[in-house]
Structure 1
Amino acid sequence: MRCRSDPDHVVEPILKYFLTFFNLVVFLMSICCIIGGSWLLYQRDSVQNNKTNVESVFDITTDLGAYLIAIGCIGIIFAIIGCAATIRESIFFLRIYMFILILITVLNLIVGVIFLIYSGKITTAIQTKLEKTYILNYYDDDEIKSLFDLLQGQYSCCGIQNYTDWNSNPYHNCNSTQSALSCLVPVSCCKDYEKNKETLNLFCSREVLKDSSLVSNINTMGCRQAIITLAQYGVKILSSCLVGITIILAITIVLVQYLLILIRKEQALYNAKNRYSTLDNDDEIMDYLN
C-alpha cells in the first residue's frame, strides 16, 4: 500500500486494512466450517461402520455437515476475491465483491424472515419427530438415546406429552413379552436422575405404564414445554446472529462503495496529471482546462 502522505493518493490505507482484515476473518471462519462439516461427516461414517441406525438423527447431521462444507468453500472463494480486489484496488473485482455482499445480505434477510414466520411450525415439527420417530428408535441409536436422556434429565420430564408416550416404544410397550423393560420408562425419567445417574436402579420406574399408581418415582410431566422453551431460545440466538451479520455486511458494503469512489477519484487525478504532462505549451493547457 502506498504512503498516505502522497498527495496524489486519495485511497485511505486504513480502509484497505479493515476490508483485508474482514476477509481474513471470513477466510478463517470458512476453514472452521469445512473442518466442522468434515468432522460431522466422519462421525456419520463412523456410526455407519458400526452398523448403527442412522436414519433419524444423522439425517440432520449429514445435511448439516455437507451444508457447512459448502459454506466454507464459498466463503474461501469470497474471501480471496475480496482480499485480491482490495489490495490491488481493482474496480472490476470490487464490483463483483460488492454484488456478492449484497446477495448474501438479501439472502440473510430472507432466511431470517422465513425462519421467524415459520418458527412455530418448526417447533411443532420437532415435537412430532421426537414423539413419532425418536421415541420409537430410542434404543436403536445412541445419539437419540443421549438426546432424550439429556432432555428428560435436565428438565425433569418424561416423554413428549407425558410419560405414557413411552408405551409406543417396542421395548417399553406392555404387550412386549420378551423385553425386561416392558411397562417401564427409561431410567432418565426417574426423579433425581441428574444427581444419581451412575447409581440409579434401571428398574426404578417399576411398571408405571401398567399401573398409574406407581408413578411416585418418576417425572410424569412431558417435555413439550421444555422443547418449546429451547426452540424459542434458539430462535432468539439465531435472530441475534442474523441481525449482527446483516449489520456487519451492510457496513462492509458501504465501505466497499466508498473505496470504489476513492479509487475512481485517484484514477481521474492520475489521468489528469498525465494529460497535463503531455501538453506542450500554456495555450494547450488553457484549452484543456476550458
Structure 2
Amino acid sequence: MHCRSFWPVSWPCFLLHRETSKIVVMSNHWILPGNPIFPARTLEETQYFLAELEACTTQEELAKVVIRYVEPFGATNVLVGTMPQIGATKRQQIGHILINAWPNDWSARYFSQNYVFKDPTITLVREGLESFFWNEDEVVGLRSGMRVMGEAKEFGLAEGFTMTLPSLGPEHVGFSIAGERLELSPENKKNLALVANFAVYRALRIRHTQQNSSVLKLTAREREVLQLAAEGWKERQIASRLGITDHAIDKYMRSCREKLGSRNTNHAIALALRKGLIS
C-alpha cells in the first residue's frame, strides 16, 4: 500500500491498494417496513472506488462510479459543480457543472427558472458551510429556497446531502447527493468525503485535459464567434460586429460544431463553457 498525493497538502491523501484491490461483500440485512437499513461503506470498499475514479477518463464515467458508491445510502442522483457568479447566464451556469447525474426534467426546469440564485444549497456552499442535510434549519430557514426544494421533491429529490469542497481555484465546489430517502452515518459521511474530494479532483483534471486538447483545435476567431453566440448575438449581428460576411460566420459556427462534436450551436456553446473555452 502506498500513498499518492494528487493536490495541495491541505487536501486528504488517499491510500490505494494497487495490487490487491478487493470488493468487500456486505452482509445481508433484514429490512423492516418503514425502517430501511442502509449498509455502510467500509474503508476498504472506499479505497476500491477511489481506484475506479482514478481510471475514469470522462465526466460520464465519474458520475456512474459515484452513483454506485452512494446507492447504499439511498441516493439515486449526484450533482457536482463550481459556483457561478451572480448574474451568470443559463449557459454559463451549465458550464460550471463538473459531474451531472441529476434528473433531466428537473435540470431543465431549474435552469429555465434561474433557480441557481434562489437555491439554498448554493447559498450555503457559497458561505462555506462544510456539510448539511437539506432538512436542516440552515436550509429550510431560507424562505427564498422553499419553492426550489419543494419542487425538487417532485423529481425524486426528496432528501439530500451537500458538502462544500475546495477546488484548484478560489471558488468552492458543491457536491450533492439526493434520493427519496437518505441514511448517512458519521462513518459513511467521513468516507464519502474522501470519494467526493477525489471525484472533484478527477473531474477538474479531466476538464483541464479536454480544455487543452480543444484549445488546440479551435482557432482564435472560432472562439471569438462562439463567445459572442454564447452572449446571445445572432449570426448576422456577429458578422456586422466583426466586419465579415454572414457566410463566414456560418462557416466558423459549423467548424466549431464539428470540432467539439456537438449536435447544434447551443450544444457547442454548452460544451465550450464546460471546457472553459469561453465564459
TM-score (ref. length: structure 1): 0.23
More strand by share: 2
Of structures 1 and 2, the larger Rg is shown by 1
Q: Give the TM-score normalised by structure 2.
A: 0.24
**Structure in which a larger fraction of residues adopt helix:** 1
